[in-house]
Amino acid sequence: MSDIFISYARQDRFIAGELAYVLSHEGWSVWWDSELLPGQAFNSVIEQELKNARCVVAIWSSHSVKSRWVRSEAAEGADRDLLVPVIIEDVVPPLGLREAQCADLRKWDGTLSHEGCAALMRAVRVKAGKPKPAGVTELTRKVCLVGASGVGKTSLVRRYVSSIFSDKYLSTIGVKIDRKAVVVAETQVQLIIWDIEGHDEFRSMQLHYMKGMNGYFVVVDGTRQETLERAIEIDQLVRDVSQVPPPRIALLNKADLTDKWAVDARSLQMMTDMGWDCRVVSAKIDRGVNDAFHALSEMMLTSSWSFQDLRTVEIDLDFDDDEREARLLRAALSRQRNAFLAWARLAGILAVRNKRELADKAVLRARRSTPNTPGAWIALAEEFIRIDRTREAVDLLERAIAQLSQVDSTTRLSLASTYARLGSGRKALQQYQLWLSENRGESMRGEIENRVNELKRLTEPGQDQE
């Protein structure tokens, strides 16, 4: 359990991330969740973390003073004399929670020497005790493995956790949870690994297992091309339920079966162009498994939208000196493997905070920095859909199609799914029909035919969704 519990409104996740970083860098263990949806605040995990915390830092803003979740968490801290309130806007804390002196971070510059931050540190030391030596932190990160059935998720987990491989096939029922401690960049990380039941149809009832995850693997059986196509669709479902998509890696398992390998180089290149980190691994011969888990652990520690000590990174957007978004932008862009996708995601975050002009500039930067490949355009279109930039998304998709002289089956399904998410039923139908005409022997034909029939019904005259 963590030393410090940070309570905040979703709209203030930027400052929550900054505080979490500074406090953890000082040596305390900090619990905060930047991906909680409204209504999830008092699930069992949060209740347990709040119960065991030695200090509760409540961030008061115009949003949080109206949040019954923040008020309840702050009240719990106050009742146990653990509350350390922080004020980031000109607001008055809720009635009954005004007695404690607030640390004033309304003009915080992100440094420890700031008067308000120094006051916060003194208060936290009183409640939580002295921190651990500087540079040593302990974190917990939830990792999920998803994919079609039979791709080897359980074997990969056993190889990583216990260095064991078994030829015996055991289908995971529901979910299996393992744990392993690792050290990443002087940080002790406790990985909680969720091996989720594989399905040929990834039903929504499985998606609740993803809540609160910090990163995930999408596992593919390299000897079955259809599992790659399934993986892309599963990934889209997972990302649809995430406010901020967590980092993920695609694992192409069973590299030991080279004579049966079916995933072609073209599909791999297309996924790479779309922003995927693809790794060929083998649970049986222990190829690349440890490296993949270590890589994801690093990504989870460095890819959140929180403040990092990266002030040397120069950004030429017109931010005011006291804008928290400027610091967020420096952190995110310097930590993202695909900067053009980071620009798109940040555009959405800025738009939520009514920074429309800055959001437009970030969108422009995303387009300018996108690699000149159809796969990258499709990936950027997906991000633009997420942030309601549908016109830009359509333009990118049309551009990708115009440049693709031959579309492989994986990309074809990705295009169809993207059009469907845009509400372009006829275009999605066209892509699915093309896939059927190009892939006559694929095992997914039955499912795709069902989708075609459904789209035909939805796109009858008078019901077109475009």
Domain's final residue, options 98, 128, 158: 128
The two tokens of residue 97 are 């929670």
Angle at 44 between CA 38 and CA 48, to 5 degrees: 115
Is residue 388 located within the same domain as residue 352?
Answer: yes
Q: What is the pLDDT of residues 197-240, one digit of tens each?
A: 776 654 444 666 777 788 899 999 999 988 888 888 888 777 77
Q: What is the spatial distance between Cα 341 and Cα 369, in angstroms, rounded to a whole number?
A: 9
Is residue 405 located within the same domain as residue 453?
Answer: yes
Amino acid at 446: G
In a domain, 308, yes or no: no
Q: What is the spatial distance between Cα 55 and Cα 349, in angstroms, rounded to a whole number?
A: 29
In a domain, 272, yes or no: yes
**Global pTM?**
0.48
Total count of domains within the chain:
3
Let me know: does 239 contact 385? Beta carbons within 8 Å: no
Domain that holds residue 453: 324-458
- pLDDT value at position 402? 79
In a domain, 100, yes or no: yes
Is residue 49 located within the same domain as residue 166?
Answer: no
Q: What is the spatial distance between Cα 251 and Cα 166, in angstroms, rounded to a whole number?
A: 18
Is residue 244 located within the same domain as residue 158?
Answer: yes
Is residue 112 located within the same domain as residue 193?
Answer: no
In a domain, 318, yes or no: no
Is residue 116 located within the same domain as residue 226?
Answer: no
Instruction: For residue 313, give every residue at least 6 positions away whose Cβ sits within 8 Å of its Cβ, in sequence order, or none.
Output: 330, 333, 334
Q: How many residues does the chain have?
A: 466
Instruction: For residue 323, give every residue at least 6 positions away whose Cβ sits within 8 Å of its Cβ, in sequence order, or none.
Output: none
Q: Which of 90, 42, 43, 36 is nearest to 65 (CA)?
A: 90
Domain's final residue, options 103, 128, 153: 128
Q: Which of 254, 252, 263, 249 is nearest to 286 (CA)?
A: 254
In a domain, 463, yes or no: no
In a domain, 309, yes or no: no
* CATH code of residue 30: 3.40.50.10140
Is residue 256 located within the same domain as residue 176?
Answer: yes
Instruction: For residue 388, give every residue at least 6 positions away whose Cβ sits within 8 Å of its Cβ, in sequence order, or none.
Output: 348, 351
- pLDDT value at position 406? 65
Instruction: For residue 390, give every residue at least 6 positions away whose Cβ sits within 8 Å of its Cβ, in sequence order, or none.
Output: 384, 422
Can you give the C-alpha Rg of the chain in angstroms?
A: 23
Q: What is the spatial distance between Cα 461 and Cα 163, in angstroms, rounded to a whole number?
A: 58
pLDDT in single tens digits along all 466 residues of the chain: 678 999 998 778 767 877 876 787 677 888 876 434 444 444 667 888 888 899 999 999 999 999 988 999 999 999 999 999 999 999 999 888 877 789 999 888 667 778 899 899 999 999 988 776 544 446 778 898 998 888 999 899 989 988 776 555 555 556 787 888 888 766 678 888 888 877 665 444 466 677 778 889 999 999 998 888 888 888 877 777 665 678 889 999 999 998 899 888 888 887 887 778 899 999 999 999 999 998 888 777 655 433 332 232 334 444 443 454 455 555 445 544 556 777 787 777 777 767 777 778 778 878 887 888 777 888 888 778 777 787 788 888 888 877 766 667 777 777 787 777 777 778 888 888 888 888 876 677 887 888 888 888 776 654 444 4
Q: Which of 409, 339, 349 is nearest to 379 (CA)?
A: 339
- pLDDT value at position 84? 94
Strand ranges across the sheet with 103-104: 30-31, 4-7, 55-60, 83-87, 103-104
Name 7's bridge partners. Answer: 58
In a domain, 91, yes or no: yes
* CATH code of residue 236: 3.40.50.300
Q: Which of 3, 6, 20 is nearest to 59 (CA)?
A: 6
Is residue 250 located within the same domain as residue 111?
Answer: no
User: HSE of 99 in the Cβ direction (CA atoms, 13 Å)?
Assistant: 9
- pLDDT value at position 174? 65
- pLDDT value at position 338? 57
Is residue 168 located within the same domain as residue 246?
Answer: yes
Is residue 351 located within the same domain as residue 240?
Answer: no
In a domain, 313, yes or no: no
Question: What is the number of other CB atoms lying within 10 angstroms of the CB of residue 321?
Answer: 7
The two tokens of residue 444 are 């997914």
Q: What is the pLDDT of residues 75-109, one digit of tens each?
A: 999 999 999 999 999 999 988 887 778 999 988 86
Is residue 76 located within the same domain as residue 155?
Answer: no
Angle at 280 between CA 179 and CA 163, to 5 degrees: 35
Is residue 111 located within the same domain as residue 196?
Answer: no
The CA-based diameter of the chain, rounded to the nearest angstrom, is 71
* CATH code of residue 432: 1.25.40.10
- pLDDT value at position 316? 41
Answer left, alpha or beta for residue 211, where phi above 0 means left and psi between -120 and 50 means alpha: beta
Return the H-helix or E-strand segment holding 385.
helix 374-386
Domain's final residue, options 95, 128, 161: 128
